[in-house]
Structure 1
Amino acid sequence: MIDVVDLSRLQFAMTAMYHFLFVPLTLGMAFLLAIMESVYVMTGKQIYKDMTKFWGKLFGINFALGVATGLTMEFQFGTNWSYYSHYVGDIFGAPLAIEALVAFFLESTFVGLFFFGWDRLSKRQHLCVTWLVAIGSNFSALWILVANGWMQHPVGAEFNFETMRMEMVSFAEVVLNPVAQVKFVHTVASGYTTGAMFVLGISSYYLLKGRDVAFARRSFAIAASFGMAAILSTIVLGDESGYELGDVQKVKLAAIEAEWHTEPAPAAFTAFGIPNQETMETDYAVKIPYVMGIIATRSLDKEVTGLRDLREEHVVRIRNGMYAYELLEKLRAGDKSEENIAAFDEVKQDLGYGLLLKRYTDNVVDATEQQIQMAADDSIPTVWPLFWSFRIMVACGFIMLFIFGMAFIQTCRQKIEQKPWLLKAALYGIPLPWIAVEAGWFVAEYGRQRGL
C-alpha cells in the first residue's frame, strides 16, 4: 500500500513534469523571438516582423500554460509539503521569492508590452521589450535552479537544533553553488534546443506543404543556426554536469552508470546492459573502456566509486546518524552542555542517514543491525530507471545533433527544399527535446541522494 508521503511525491513529480513541458519552450522561443526581431530592426524587412508576430503567438500560449501549471506547484509546497517549507524555508524560500518578485514580474510585465506594444512603441523600444522578456525568462530559471541546486547539494546553511530548522549562513554560497550553476546553464541550453527544434519542425512542415515558403525558409535558417549552437552547448554542459556529480553526488553517478563495483581507474562506460538490483550486477553489459573514468573524473588515475562500496560507507553514516539523533534528543531535552553541542556538530551532517531508520523503527537510537542494513539498502536508488532514462536523454541529444547539423549544412548550401528526408526528420523530431528534458529531470530528481 502506498503511503501518503509516496502519494505526495508522486503528485508533485507529475505536476513538475507537466509544468516542465512548457518551461523549456518558453526559454528557447524567447531568444528566437529576440533574434528574429533584431533582424527586422536591422534590415527593415516586413517578413521578419511577421515571423516575430507568428512565433510570438505560439510563445504566448505556451507562456500562459507554463505560469498556470507552475502555480499549482507553489500550492503543493503549502499543502503536502508544509513541514518541508518550514524546515528549509529560510534557504529555499529566498531564491523563490527573488524569482517571483523580480524575474517573474520582469518577464510578465514585458510579455504584455510585447503583445500590445507593436503600434505604441518604436522599433527599438519594442526590440528592447522582447530582449527583456528573454532575459527575464532566463533570470527566472536561474533562481528556481538555485533553489533546486541547493536541494541537490545543500551548501551555505546549517541545522539549528534549537529551532529544528535549516538556516542560511551564506547567501553567496547558496547562489554560487556549483551544482546550481551547472544545472542552470545545462537547463537553459536545453531550453534553447527545444525552442529551435520546435521552430525547425513547424517550418519543415510548411516547406513540405509548399506554404509560405519565404517565411518558412527564413524561420528554418534561424532555427538551424541557433539550434546547432544550442545542442552543442547542451551536450558540453551536460558533460560538465556529469563531472560535478563525481564530486557531490557519487550515488547518483554510480546508479546512472550501473557502476556496482569500484573498478580500477579509468572505469569503463556501460553502453548497454540490464541492471539487476538483487545481485548488484549488470547482465549482458556492453562496456567501452576508459570512457566513464574520463567523463566522471577528467583523469586516467581516479576511481569511480561503485554502489557496493558506497552502500558500506552509508552503513557508517547511518551509525553516525544514530549517534547524532541521540545527541539531538539530549539537546532538545535541555542537556546543552558544551560536550554535547560539540559532539553533535561533528556528526550532524549524517543525521539524515540516521533518519532513514524511521521507516523501520521509531526508536532510531536502538535500531537493530538488520534495520541498519535495510536502511543502507534504501540509500541506494533503484538503478534501472536511472540507467535507461539517462541513455534515452543522451540518445535524443545525439539524434538532435545530427538533425541540427544537417539542417545547418543544408541551410548554408541553400538546398533545404531539396532534402525532403531532412524536413521530415525535423518534423517528426519535434518531440525529441521534450523526451530528453523529461528524462533528464527524472534522472536529476529520482537519483537525488537519500539522507541529505
Structure 2
Amino acid sequence: MTESLVDLSRLQFAVTALYHFLFVPLTLGMVWILVIMESVFVITGKEIYRDMTRFWGKLFGINFALGVTTGITMEFQFGTNWAYYSHYVGDIFGVPLALEGLMAFFLESTFIGLFFFGWERLSRTKHLMVTILMAVGSNLSALWILVANGWMQEPIGAHFNYQTMRMELTSMWDIFFNPTAQAKFVHTVSAGYVTAAVFVLGVSSWYLLRGRDVAFARRSFRIAAAFGFASALSVVVLGDESGYTVGEAQQTKMAAIEAMWHTEPAPASFTLVASPDQAKRRNDYQIQIPYLMGVIGTRSLTKEIPGIHEIVAKNKHRIENGREAVIALEALRKDPQNAQLKAAFEAHEADLGFGLLLKKYVADVRQADAALIDKAAWDTIPNVAPMFWSFRVMAGLGFSLIVLFTLALYFSLRNTFQQKRWLLRWAMLWVPAPWIAIELGWVVAEYGRQPWTIYGVLPTHLSVSSLSVGSVVGSLTGFIVFYTGLLIAEVYLMIKYTRMGPSSLGTGRYAGETPLTQPA
C-alpha cells in the first residue's frame, strides 16, 4: 500500500470519529441528568421538574439524532477503507459491535421514542422507567464500543490461526474484562457526564445573568453543579487508572506522553513542560517534578518506567524475532503439514506483528538489513510533541473543571451562586472546555497507538483496503462537507432552543409567554 493511501484512510477515519465524538459525550451525560430531574419530579410532584426534564430532553434529542447519523457511517468504513483489518480481526472485533447493536442501540432507540411521546400516555413512574432504560441503553452502547476499542489497545483473549491467516476469539470473558477496556469505558463515560453538566451549568448561568426563568435556571444549575462535581472527580480518579493500564500495556504510548527519552532511576520525575525534539530524540528543555511520575505511573517507588531509547532497543529485538516468524509463516502456508516449520513459527509467533512492520519497506523481510530494522523500530514510537502537549492540555482543562464545579457546588450549598456573576460568566465561557479535552483524549489514545491498528499485532499500513487515492480523497471530502453541515445544523438548533428556553415547551409559565407566570 502507498503511504499516501494509508495516511488518507487514517485521516478519513479520524475526521469521522472526531466529528462523531462531538455528539456522543453530551448524550452520555445528559440522559442521566434527565433521570435525576425526572426522579425529583416523581418524588415531589412539582411541575417545574417535569418542565426541566422535557426542555433539557429536547436538547438531548437534537444531539442524539445527529450523533446516531454520524455514528452509523463509521461502522461501514471498516468494510470500505479497512478491508484487511476486517478480514484479519473481524471474528473478534465484530462481536462487541454486534452486541452494541442488539443490546444497546435498539434499546435506546426504542425508549427515546417513548420518552418524547409517552408523557401523556404513561404514568409518572412508568415514564421515569423509560428514561432510566434510555440512559442504560445509551451507556451500554458506549460500553460495547469501548470494549472493542480496548481490545485494539490491548489484544487479549484471541489467538492467530496460521491456517486461516486470521485472529480468532478464544475468550470473550477476557475481552470484556480487559483492564484497558474497562478503564477506558469508565473514564470516557465520566468525561461525557462532565460535558453534559458543564452544558447545563453554562446555559443555566446564561439565563441567570439575564434574570429570566430564574426558578427554572436555579434548579438546573444546582443539579448540574452536584452532578458535575462528582463526575469531574471521577474523571481524574478513573483517568489515573486508565493511565496506569497504558503504562502496563502500551509503554511506547506512556513514554511519548511523558517525552521520556531515557529510562530514569525509580521513581521517575514528572515532566511539567518540555520542548521535545523528534529529530534529535531528546528534549531541548524541560521542567520536572521529582518522583511524581514514578508514583503515578507505577504506583510504587521502585519500579522503573522505560524510556523511548530503551523501548526502541527492545522493539528492535522483537522485530528481528518477528522477522523469523514471518519467514516461517510464509513457508508454512506452502507446506502446512511441515512439523518443523510449525515449530519454528510457534517459537517466534509472539512477535509476528513486529516482523510485519518490515512489510512497509520490503515485500520479502529477508531483505531487511540492520538499518531497515532500526528504522522500523523507531516507527513504533509516535511523534512525541503532539502526544506530550495533547495530554497536558487535556489534563489542565480537566483540573480547571474540577475547580469550576467545586465552586459551583459550594456556592449552591450556600445559596449565593446567583450573586456570583463572575462564576456564572466562567461557567458560560467554559462550555467548550470538556469537548476540547475529550477530543484531545481521543488523539492521545488513537494517535498514540500508531503504527498499529491492533497494538503489537497488526500494523496500520497492512490494514487498509485496496483503493485508489482519488476515491479516498473524494469520500473524505464528502464526509467533511456532510458532517460540517450536520454540525452547523446541530449548533443552529441548540442555540435556537436555548435562546427560547423553557418557553419552547408552550406551557404558558415562562418568559416570553402569555400569561407570564413562574412556577413555584
Partner of 1:408: 409
Partner of 1:336: 337
Contact 1:325 1:365 in 2 (8 A): no
Deviation per CA, 1:379-423: give whole Å up to 9, x if none.
111100000000010011011011101000000000011100000
**3-state DSSP class of the match of 2:254?**
helix
Contact 2:267 2:293 in 1 (8 A): yes
Contact 1:103 1:137 in 2 (8 A): yes
Structure 2 residue 55 is matched with structure 1 residue 85: no
Deviation per CA, 1:199-239: give whole Å up to 9, x if none.
00000000001110000000000000000000000000000
Note the 1:76-225 alignment, pairs <5 A.
76-225=77-226
Alpha-carbon distance in structure 1 between the residues aligned to 2:291 and 2:340:
48
Q: Which amino acid aligns with 1:76?
A: Q
Structure 2 residue 254 is matched with structure 1 residue 248: no
Contact 2:191 2:434 in 1 (8 A): yes
User: Which stretch shows the higher mean deviation, 219-228 or 343-352?
Assistant: 343-352
**3-state DSSP class of the match of 1:24?**
helix
Contact 2:13 2:74 in 1 (8 A): yes
**3-state DSSP class of the match of 1:299?**
coil
Alpha-carbon distance in structure 2 between the residues aligned to 1:404 and 1:313:
44
Q: CA deviation at 1:365?
A: 2.1
Deviation per CA, 1:48-97: give whole Å up to 9, x if none.
00000000000000000110000110111110012211111100000000
Contact 1:251 1:449 in 2 (8 A): no
Alpha-carbon distance in structure 1 between the residues aligned to 2:3 and 2:295:
41
Structure 2 residue 284 is matched with structure 1 residue 283: yes
Alpha-carbon distance in structure 2 between the residues aligned to 1:30 and 1:146:
21
Structure 2 residue 261 is matched with structure 1 residue 260: yes
Alpha-carbon distance in structure 2 between the residues aligned to 1:336 and 1:201:
67
Q: Which amino acid aligns with 2:286?
A: A
Contact 1:249 1:449 in 2 (8 A): no
Partner of 1:398: 399
Q: CA deviation at 1:6?
A: 1.0
Contact 1:28 1:196 in 2 (8 A): yes
Q: Which amino acid aligns with 1:24?
A: P
Q: CA deviation at 1:351?
A: 1.3
Partner of 2:440: 439
Deviation per CA, 1:113-138: give whole Å up to 9, x if none.
00000000000000000000111111
Contact 1:186 1:238 in 2 (8 A): yes
Q: CA deviation at 1:349?
A: 2.1
Q: CA deviation at 1:361?
A: 1.1
Note the 1:15-94 alignment, pairs <5 A.
15-94=16-95
Q: CA deviation at 1:283?
A: 1.8
Partner of 2:373: 372
Note the 1:312-351 alignment, pairs <5 A.
312-351=313-352
Could you state the TM-score of these two structures normalised by the residue count of structure 1?
0.99
Alpha-carbon distance in structure 2 between the residues aligned to 1:188 and 1:311:
34
Q: CA deviation at 1:345?
A: 2.0
Alpha-carbon distance in structure 2 between the residues aligned to 1:40 and 1:335:
68
Contact 1:158 1:168 in 2 (8 A): yes
Alpha-carbon distance in structure 1 between the residues aligned to 2:153 and 2:174:
14
Alpha-carbon distance in structure 1 between the residues aligned to 2:273 and 2:95:
42
Q: CA deviation at 1:449?
A: 5.1
Contact 2:268 2:305 in 1 (8 A): yes
Structure 2, unmatched stretches of 5+, are 458-520
**3-state DSSP class of the match of 2:263?**
coil
Alpha-carbon distance in structure 2 between the residues aligned to 1:249 and 1:91:
20
Structure 1, unmatched stretches of 5+, are none
Higher relative contact order (CA 8 A, sep 6+): 2
Contact 1:318 1:353 in 2 (8 A): yes
Q: Which amino acid aligns with 1:10?
A: L
Alpha-carbon distance in structure 2 between the residues aligned to 1:395 and 1:2:
35
Alpha-carbon distance in structure 2 between the residues aligned to 1:363 and 1:166:
22
Question: Could you say what the CA RMSD is over the residues aligned between the two structures, in angstroms?
Answer: 1.0
Alpha-carbon distance in structure 1 between the residues aligned to 2:303 and 2:205:
47
**3-state DSSP class of the match of 1:3?**
helix
**3-state DSSP class of the match of 2:122?**
coil
The runs of at least 4 aligned residues of structure 1 exceeding 6 Å deviation read none
Alpha-carbon distance in structure 2 between the residues aligned to 1:379 and 1:290:
27
**3-state DSSP class of the match of 2:374?**
helix
Partner of 2:231: 230
Q: CA deviation at 1:340?
A: 2.2
Q: CA deviation at 1:2?
A: 5.4
Alpha-carbon distance in structure 1 between the residues aligned to 2:346 and 2:124:
60
Percent identity between the aligned chains? 62
**3-state DSSP class of the match of 2:6?**
helix
**3-state DSSP class of the match of 1:362?**
coil
Q: Which amino acid aligns with 1:288?
A: I
Alpha-carbon distance in structure 2 between the residues aligned to 1:339 and 1:447:
38
Could you state the TM-score of these two structures normalised by the residue count of structure 2?
0.86
Partner of 2:518: none
Contact 1:196 1:224 in 2 (8 A): yes
How many pairs are equivalent? 452
